[in-house]
Each structure stands twice: as structure tokens, then as C-alpha cells.
Structure 1
Amino acid sequence: MTNQSEYGITFNGHHSSEFGLMVGAGKEIGFPAKRKLTIDVPFSNAPIDLSGIYGQQPFEERTIKIAFEIKDRNNLSKEGMYRKWTQVVNWLAEPTGKVALYDDIMPTYHYLAEMVSAPTFEELLYIGTLTVTFTCYPFRIHDTSAGNDIWNDFDFENGVAQETKFDVVGSKTTIMINPGQWVHPTIKTDADFTVTIGTSTYQIKAGTTSSPDLTMPPGVQNVTLTGTGHIEIIFYEELI
């Protein structure tokens, strides 16, 4: 980024600077709230919290609000401004469902976002402000999987250097670290394996296995791999 007008977001295949947009003041990165399920107990002041009954705390979606300054830099006219916001609104509204949204400030992470609510537009002469609110998956997702050794992408404050690929003969026990939230790893192997992650054991067939039943809890996990062959455990760090 060389100047303020080039700072922005990448969404739906385009960077905001391609439309001549400038991000105005007051950008809001919302944080996800915990989703609580509680039961009131008669004659008690302490409700029972069932939110983590399946082992993890669920979170609500988060919002990101951005105000863009819109003007036609080649034709300072009201008509030009209206043509410009027509292009921008159609760019932002096109995806059905959440797609990757990148904030230039943290380019190695992305949000999964969709513009659900209608944007608002305020104009002053030939310049307008389009305020957009994105509804997002609760967590930021790292672009590179755990265990990557890409120097430029490695997070030296929050990242973890670790092995995720193993050649096993019989059995191997190791430690893997998930520095973020609960995630669902993908396992690639050229032979059948029994994989134990923490307290959960999975029967993995040769090939690529992805399932919501496969989980990698946060923190340090003991991992036992039983089988003979090559195996890779792939997961992406998710942070609030």
C-alpha cells in the first residue's frame, strides 16, 4: 500500500481500490458473542449453562462495518457518482452465501462474509459515503495450514512451528498444537490408519477424509497414528 486510497478490502474477486474507493473513518470490526443456552433452576440463583455440552463453546456471527467514500474520479458529477455506486453495490451484493473477505491490515487471514443487510448511502455534492455491513462467520481463518514453513506468512507472535506430515511404520505418538478455536481437520493418507486426537479415535481409510465428526480441539493435543504409510493432518487456524 502506497497511499490511503489504496488501503481497503478484497472481496468477491476485486479489491476496493479497483473502484476508486477510499475507506472512511469509523471502520468497525465486530467481535462474536458467545451463544448461551441456560436453564433456570427452581429456588437457585445459578442457572445451568448447557452451552458447552458437546465440548465446545458456540459463538454468534460477527459483523464488519465499512464506510466507503465514492466519487467518479474521472468525471466529478452526480451522475458519475451514481454510476460508481451502482458498480460497487452490485459487486458487493453478488455473492449468495459467505465468501472470503480480506482486510489489507491482516492480509494472511480472511473472514467469511456476505452483505446481507442493505447498505446506506449519503451524498454531498459529487461525493457519497456508502456504508456496508458484512455478516461473517465468527472466526478469522489463516490462509496457510498449520505446520507450513512459508517464511513470509508465518505469524511469529501467534503461530506454531510443528510437524503435520508423518511417515509411520506401526505406530507413532506425537503432539500437535491448535492455537485457535475448534476446527475440523482434513486427513490425507496412502493407507488405512487409526488416528487418536486427544480423547477421540477415528478410523481413517486411505485417501482424503474430511468430516464434521473429525475435530481438533484447542491447545496441545496428544496424537497417536497407528498404521503403515504416509499421513498428513491439515487444519487452518481460526481466531477471534
Structure 2
Amino acid sequence: MSYPFEIVEGFKFVGIHTKDYGMSLKERTAPTPEEKTITEDVPFMHGVYDFSMLLGERIYENRPLSYTFEVYDRNYERRKVDEIALKNWLMKPGYSPLYDDFDIGYYWLAKCTGVDIEDDHKAGRLIINVSFDAYPFKKSELPEGHDIWDDFNFELDVSQPVEYQVNGTLNINLLNAGSCSVVPTITVSAAMTIQKDKITYNVPQGESKSESFRLMIGENPMTITGNGTIKFTFYKELI
């Protein structure tokens, strides 16, 4: 189907783009997520004790995302079919990657929570309001340490090695340039140990991942002991 205007932006969700339905984006809102605050109010003390950053970073609730689109079609029956198709496309899946054209190189992990459609008979259009519940951070599509120069962002990205040859003991410092800690996938050719923040982690041969081993925001110095190759695979997350 051809349209009398150029559709510039929208989003892709479970393999379908809003352009496929001729949806023209009119408004997008992505407010910052609310923080999960943990405070203790002590009598006769000014202010409160704030334990929200006990783990070294701020913790957030899921965030709402909302979009308003218009679809123009003078055919009433066609608009009714579009309404049914849109609701079934968006409301069936659970949490899935949501690729917003505004956030190039990133995606949201989101679930559609509502599709509100108004049929404007006089104008021959549908006004579509779509809402999502999303993980608070948008995730990079490319892993850290990638060498795709055309996609490198000098303000947000960091050029660093993520694969190393270990012969005995090796000191490295991985930088997490994101807004929250992340759990890397570690791939080693032989069993090794990693000492980080005065804790020793045993890394089995092959590919492994553990919630107890996290790369905190900023620098992550560590000492690796073993013989062979080790690779860290992780993706930056931004607020």
C-alpha cells in the first residue's frame, strides 16, 4: 500500500514494523523509571537513612513507554480489519525486544499493556495509542569490544579488548560504560580463577554466567589466573 506522506519513525516488535501497517508516529513518551527507594526514618533525626544504593547502584522499577500513531484509510471495513490485526499483533507476545527507530543501536525489553484505538470517521483515520511496560534500561544490540567502526559512538562507547591470552597471572581492567551493572558471559579454554573486589571466582572451562559475578558501573580491575584464552561478552545498558 502507498501513502501520501513519508513515514519516518516507529518501532519494530516481534518481526513487524509499524510502517507495515502505515502507522504514522505522532507522539512518543519514554519517561525515566521510578527508583526503588529503601529508607529508614529515625525519630529525632533530620532526614532519613537511604539504603537504596546499598549494592552500589540505583535500582529502578520498570518504565512505561507510550506511542500515538495515525493510520489513514477512507475504507471503513479496512480500518476495522486493521484494528483487529493491530491488537492481535501487539497484545499476544510477552516481554520481547522492542526496536524504536529513535534509539538506534539499542532495544527495549517490553510487553504491550494496552492498544487503545479511536476511529475518526470524518477524517477516515485510526488514532492508535500503544503502551508498553519495559525493563528500565535500553540494551545495546552490539556487545562491548566490537570492532564495527561505523557503529562506534564517541560519546557513549568505549574501545577496549574483551578477549585475553592468560599465561599464569594477568591483571586487566574492564570498563562498564553503561548505567547499571551487568552480568557477562565468560568463555575460557581451560578452567581459571578471577579475583575481583577481594572475592575469588572459579570459572569452569567453556561458557558460563553467574549472577554473583557482575561488572559494576565504571572500572572493574581484576586478576585472572590460569592458562589459555578468556573472553567476556556483555552488553551496555543505558537509562
TM-score range normalised by the length of the shorter chain:
over 0.9
2:85 matched to which residue of 1?
A: 87
Q: Tell me how far 1:198 sits from its aligned partner.
A: 4.2
Return the alpha-carbon distance in structure 2 between the equivalents of residues 4 and 197 of structure 1: 52
1:101–1:110 contact (8 Å) kept in structure 2: yes
Instruction: State the alpha-carbon separation in 2 of the partners of residues 198 and 87 from structure 1.
Output: 52
2:17 alignment counterpart:
15
- In the alignment, the residues of structure 1 paired with residue 155 and residue 186 of structure 2 have an alpha-carbon distance, to the nearest angstrom, of 27
Q: Distance in 2 between matches of 1:102 and 1:40?
A: 42
Q: Deviations over 1:179-212 (max 9, x none)?
A: 1111111100111111134444311000111121
- The RMSD of aligned alpha carbons is 1.5
**Shift of the alpha carbon at 1:6?**
4.3
Which moves more between the two structures, 196-205 or 85-94?
Answer: 196-205
Equivalence map 1:1-240=2 (5 Å): 4-24=6-26, 26-72=27-73, 76-96=74-94, 98-116=95-113, 118-125=114-121, 126-180=124-178, 181-240=180-239
Aligned AA for 2:59?
Answer: P
Q: Report the residue type matching 1:149 in the other structure.
A: D
What amino acid maps onto 2:16 in structure 1? H
Structure 1: stretches of 5+ with no match in the other structure: none
Letter of the 1:44 partner, please give it.
Answer: M
- With normalisation by structure 2, the TM-score equals 0.92
CA–CA separation in structure 2 for the residues paired with 1:70 and 1:108: 27
Point out the more displaced range, 182-191 or 119-128: 119-128
Q: 1:134-191 CA distances to partner (integer Å, 9 max, x unpaired)?
A: 1100001001111111112222211000000001100111221111111111100111
Instruction: Kindly state the Cα deviation for residue 64 of structure 1 after the two structures are TM-superposed.
Output: 1.0
Aligned residues: 232
Q: Secondary structure at the match of 1:171?
A: strand
Residue identity matched to 1:17: K
Distance 2:126 2:208 in 1: 49
Identity of aligned residues (%): 31
Cα distance between partner residues in 2 of 1:195 and 1:161 = 22
- Report the TM-score when normalising by structure 1: 0.92
Q: 1:198 to 1:163 in 2, by over 3 A?
A: farther
> For residues 111-136 of structure 1, what are the alpha-carbon distances to aligned partners after superposition, in whole Å with 9 as ceiling and x for unaligned?
111112x3222221120111011110
**CA displacement 1:100-120 (0-9 Å, x = unmatched):** 11111222101111112x322
Cα distance in structure 2, aligned partners of 1:220 and 1:199: 15
Amino acid paired to 2:164: F
Measure the CA separation in 1 of the matches of 2:87 and 2:213: 39
Cα distance in 2, alignment partners of residues 199 and 28 from structure 1: 43
